[in-house]
Amino acid sequence: MVNDQLQKFMFNAASVCGEIVSLRDTWQEVLTRRSYPTPVRNVLSEMMAACALLSANLKFDGTLIMQIYGDEPVTMLVVQCNPDLSLRATAKLAESIEGASETPVPITDDMTLPELLNRNGQGRCVIMLDPRDKKPGQQAYQGIVPLSGEHGPLASMATT
């Protein structure tokens, strides 16, 4: 039984289309490699779903990489989606980095995205498109946006 699925749908009568993604097997594989606190797992799983959905809608032969760089207690989240929609993901916590502050902020189960990644307003989201067959001199495309908008820090991945 395959538990990873990406299903496109369309309602002809309403001119509505969309996609549903389920990444149960891939997500379980990520969790077997590392044990992340609950709020980190939540954001990383949302990033994986977003990355799969973005990749499936691009007419692009290459890798899509989504990265979030933040303040303590989480310093980086990375998800990579390959052209075959295979995914990998990882998180880096401040407590595991040599040279981090003397007393890293503890991660609690009720932490929000701003508390995890944008405590000092310096968090940013990077999306990179890396073509498989680069032309001479061609670089990967990279877009960078802050984790805050005109009304302050973004509350969730959905608002990023």
Could you read off the pLDDT of 27-73 as tens digits, one per residue? 888 989 999 999 999 999 999 999 999 988 888 889 999 999 998 89
* CATH assignment of the domain containing 119: 3.55.30.10
Residue 76 has pLDDT above 90, yes or no: yes
Cβ within 8 Å of residue 136, ≥6 positions away: none
State the residue range of the domain holding 111.
4-8+15-159
User: Which segment of 44-48, 131-135, 142-146, 150-154 scores lowest on mean pLDDT?
Assistant: 150-154
pLDDT band at 93 (very low <50, low <70, confident <90, very high): very high
**pTM of the full predicted structure?**
0.83
> Which three-class secondary structure state does DSSP give residue 32?
helix
What mean pLDDT is predicted for residues 92-108? 73
C-beta contacts of 38-41 below 8 A and 24+ residues apart: 38/109, 39/107, 39/108, 39/109, 39/110, 39/111, 39/112, 39/116, 40/74, 40/77, 40/91, 40/93, 40/107, 40/116
pLDDT of residue 100: 53
If one counts the domains in the chain, the total is: 1
pLDDT of residue 84: 87
